[in-house]
Structure 1
Amino acid sequence: MPKRWKYRYTVLVIMFMTYLLCYMDRMVMATAIPFIADEFGLTTLEMGGVMSAFFFSYAILQIPGGILADRFGSRPVMAFGIAWWSVFTAMTAIAKSLNPLILIRVAFGLGEGVFPPAAFKTIAAWFPKKEVGRANGFMLTTNSLGPALAPLFVAGVVAAWGWRSVFLSLLFPGVIIALLVWFFVSNTPQQSKHMSKEELADYEEDEAAAPAVTHKRGIGDVVRMPIVWWCFFTLFFYNIAFWGIASWLPTYLLKSRGFSLSQMGVGASLPFFMGTIGFYLSGHISDKFFRNARQMPVVIGAVIGAVFVYLTAIAPSGNLAIAAQMVGFFFITIGLSAIFTLPVAVMPKEMVGSAAGVVNTAGQIAGFLSPLLVGYILSVTGNNYTIVFNLFVGCLAIAALLSTRIRKATDH
């Protein structure tokens, strides 16, 4: 750990806070949906539709978000997106029936959709290549920390004030974080008034090693790169499992395992706390051991994660199911973080936003399909969660196989 605090670490802390809010805002719905369903009289398929609605618009905005970040810079894209999604998070509280709720969730997804490509571009710009895996891994711990905190937060607020207060309470933090991004995170370190000459020197090695750009590269160049498509399809199958579990775990614990509200809050959080550790360690593992083979954590995470997802399905008790999910999510998130690190670590900086947008689109298409697919399976099988978990096992196995091809793509 460096002895002197550098300004890029301040930027990383702000990005951490921003991504944490991003995942808190989207994941509170997964915990609140059983209570909304009781009030609105929703079926399991309609519950899946509500959770999928966000991903519909979120997926559509991934590539445009990357293009906007590459063209106008990451700061304005992030600040606008945060403000937009925070408003529509709060507006969820005014929904009185299914259709308005779905429309609000779609609008909410538009704001969050432009954010990830801009965030990845920020990390690529602000961190030297030798640190980018760790920085990305630290930021992405929020992918699991947000879902870990959401059930605890929702359970407490619902018990005290009802589910509508959950969404209203998230408006103010969103406004504050949008302002932090606008005033303290510039598009590049060279544009920041907070950077010292000594810290700017840290980027000279990367600048010297960067190939000369002979023409302006855009989305057309990105989609012709094999690594982008291997990452695209790997992330698609990975996220069928990740978002299926993340979206339905609270309902599974309440309805299938018979947990109380307080037990569900803790039980649904524990796997994601383990996932937070997995996300954090993944960056260190990738930078230290797999700098020239960054696909290997993806393979390892998917294979071991699949084993423990299967053990969740056959666990004889709710507590053992949670224990299996804790181990499974630790390894799943190691692999998931590694997938996100690949475009940041190997793509030219001027293409990172577009590349991240293309790859993340796959994950969000999966995020749209998975809750809806799970809801459909449950509706036609009489709430048979064993079939659902076996689906997740198969998707992780496919992701592991696809990720073995990423090595050959990065060799070119």
Structure 2
Amino acid sequence: MEKNMTSSGDASSGVWSAKPLADTEASSYRWVALFIVWAAFLLSYVDRVAWSTVAAPVGASLGLKVAMLGAFVTAFYVGYVLANVVGGILTDLLGGRLMLTLALLPLGVFTFCFGYTESLVAGIVIQLAMGFAAGADYSAGMKIIPAWFTRDRGRAMGIYTTATSLAVVIANAFVPSFSAQHGWSNAFRMLGIVTFVWGIVALLLLKNQPAKDQPPVRNSAKEMLGLLRNRNLIVLAIAGCGGLWATVGFGAWGNALMTRQYGISPVVAGSIIASFGIGAVIAKPTLGWISDLPGVSRKLISILCLLAFTVTLLVFGSCSTTAQFYLVAPILGAFSFGYLPVLMAQISDASGKRLAGASAGWTNAIWQMGSAVSPLAVGHVYGGTHSFMLALLTLAVGPLVGAVAMFFVSKHIARE
């Protein structure tokens, strides 16, 4: 028994407690698992938003029209949507570790290849492949985290989703300046190499679940199809689609809109969007932690955040000076990403751990439909009107629809 137990307590009081070593190791390793999936999500998101940081200057050199600057972003998300449905199911079958590796290795290769793009068609094809390769990274993370975190799952989701907002900071702080000095092609080649290497790290170090857990039971086709009829998941899918319509649309166009409308340099615009990302980095774990507190309604937090996102987009649309953009950007960032960990925790709660991968996959596929369409929609609105406010108004429709949808989520989703 002594080999399998650790003891702690006060000898003078005669009170002792025993804790299995396996539980202690699992408690420590879960942060390693979270870091691995977090870093994978970070790199995946840097790869997908890197184009947006240099779209205006590089697009001109490639001969792209203004309305087509978002075409590469849309191509990525088309592939991402397609891969999420399949990737979510395969994640439950193969495990998060293997699927994360299968996402990162080809993503690294295709990101490297994007550095050789010389035309619109070639760029669209490679971005489509990048999106398809990256499609399982989210489902893999959503499978790993519930396996290692239970009562503090909201906090873990909050930390996990800081990857996307921190990626915005890193991409905007690094890619424009690196591209100015060494060329945008080399920036993508370097990102591809780093992504590929992290795929190997995930393969070698990531564990699917604690050793004490029972081997996963294979999900039946009937159970997976049942997820498509789960009302809470349907509504959460609609809400996330509306939110990401604006989140991704702003990420794709924020730099280019400020550069083209007000003549702000790409480096300064990147700095403004970086401050936008910092606001999100702070908000995500904070809101995730708050959503874990007893008696706190995740539904209400989601509604309030989406409504605040709508309003702040319109405020940003009324700005016209660098100082104003710097002031509003962090607040916009907090609301534009803050709803994500709360929605993700509700999806995990609504489906349960065993179906976490499949539910994350199909709901995220719906979410990313908004991501795929909004960059082109904003491009056509701005290309036809050259109105900064109308472009932001187009984005604001998304989170407003999401907030309305959240009213139809059950108040009593059980927390596993």
Query: Structure 1 length as normaliser, TM-score?
Result: 0.90
Q: Which moved more, 1:311-320 or 1:87-96?
A: 311-320
1:50 to 53, 61, 72: 72
Which residue number corresponds to residue 364 of structure 2? 360
Which residue number corresponds to residue 399 of structure 2? 396
Are 1:243 and 2:248 an aligned pair? yes
Q: Which moved more, 1:318-327 or 1:107-116?
A: 318-327
Following superposition, the deviation at residue 315 of structure 1 comes to 2.0
Following superposition, the deviation at residue 261 of structure 1 comes to 3.1
Following superposition, the deviation at residue 328 of structure 1 comes to 2.0
Following superposition, the deviation at residue 44 of structure 1 comes to 1.8
Which residue number corresponds to residue 90 of structure 1? 112
Distance 2:336 2:345 in 1: 14
Distance 2:230 2:165 in 1: 29
1:320 to 321, 324, 329: 324
Conservation of the 8 A alpha-carbon contact between 1:238 and 1:399? yes
Distance 2:163 2:294 in 1: 23
Distance 1:290 1:254 in 2: 45
Q: Which moved more, 1:398-407 or 1:53-62?
A: 398-407
Unaligned runs of 5+ in 1: 191-199
Distance 1:180 1:217 in 2: 35
1:64 to 56, 71, 86: 86
For 2:166, the aligned partner's letter is L
Following superposition, the deviation at residue 404 of structure 1 comes to 1.7
Distance 2:69 2:129 in 1: 18
Evaluate the alpha carbon distance shift between residue 16 and residue 393 of structure 1 in structure 2; reply closer, same or farther with a 3 A threshold. same
Distance 1:40 1:172 in 2: 24
% of aligned pairs identical?
A: 22
Query: The residue matched to 1:229 in structure 2 has which SS?
Result: helix
Conservation of the 8 A alpha-carbon contact between 2:104 and 2:195? yes
1:244-393 map, 5 Å: 244-288=249-293, 293-381=297-385, 383-393=386-396
Distance 2:335 2:410 in 1: 20
CA-to-partner distance for each residue in 1:247-305, whole Å, 9 max, x for gaps? 001111211122123312211211111111111212101111555x3212211111112
1:11-30 map, 5 Å: 11-30=33-52
Query: The residue matched to 1:187 in structure 2 has which SS?
Result: coil
Following superposition, the deviation at residue 185 of structure 1 comes to 1.1
Conservation of the 8 A alpha-carbon contact between 1:133 and 1:345? no
CA-to-partner distance for each residue in 1:81-102, whole Å, 9 max, x for gaps? 1001110001001111111111
Query: The residue matched to 2:208 in structure 1 has which SS?
Result: coil
Following superposition, the deviation at residue 377 of structure 1 comes to 0.8
Are 1:146 and 2:167 an aligned pair? yes
For 1:272, the aligned partner's letter is G
Are 1:168 and 2:176 an aligned pair? no
For 1:389, the aligned partner's letter is L
Count of aligned residue pairs for this structure pair = 392
Conservation of the 8 A alpha-carbon contact between 2:92 and 2:219? no
Query: Structure 2 length as normaliser, TM-score?
Result: 0.89
Following superposition, the deviation at residue 217 of structure 1 comes to 5.5
Conservation of the 8 A alpha-carbon contact between 2:272 and 2:329? no
Query: The residue matched to 1:218 in structure 2 has which SS?
Result: helix
For 2:51, the aligned partner's letter is M
Distance 2:219 2:169 in 1: 46
For 1:304, the aligned partner's letter is A
Query: The residue matched to 1:410 in structure 2 has which SS?
Result: coil
Following superposition, the deviation at residue 36 of structure 1 comes to 2.1
Which residue number corresponds to residue 410 of structure 2? 407
Following superposition, the deviation at residue 142 of structure 1 comes to 0.8
Following superposition, the deviation at residue 394 of structure 1 comes to 2.5
Query: The residue matched to 1:338 in structure 2 has which SS?
Result: helix
Alpha-carbon RMSD: 2.4
Distance 1:397 1:136 in 2: 23
For 1:398, the aligned partner's letter is V
1:81-160 map, 5 Å: 81-127=103-149, 129-160=150-181
Conservation of the 8 A alpha-carbon contact between 1:309 and 1:324? no
Distance 2:61 2:165 in 1: 28
Distance 2:322 2:367 in 1: 29
When Rg is computed on C-alpha atoms for both structures, the one with the higher figure is 2
CA-to-partner distance for each residue in 1:98-136, whole Å, 9 max, x for gaps? 111110000111111122111101111122x20211111
Evaluate the alpha carbon distance shift between residue 215 and residue 31 of structure 1 in structure 2; reply closer, same or farther with a 3 A threshold. closer
Q: Which moved more, 1:344-353 or 1:13-22?
A: 344-353
Query: The residue matched to 1:141 in structure 2 has which SS?
Result: helix
Conservation of the 8 A alpha-carbon contact between 1:313 and 1:321? no
For 1:273, the aligned partner's letter is I
Conservation of the 8 A alpha-carbon contact between 2:48 and 2:73? no
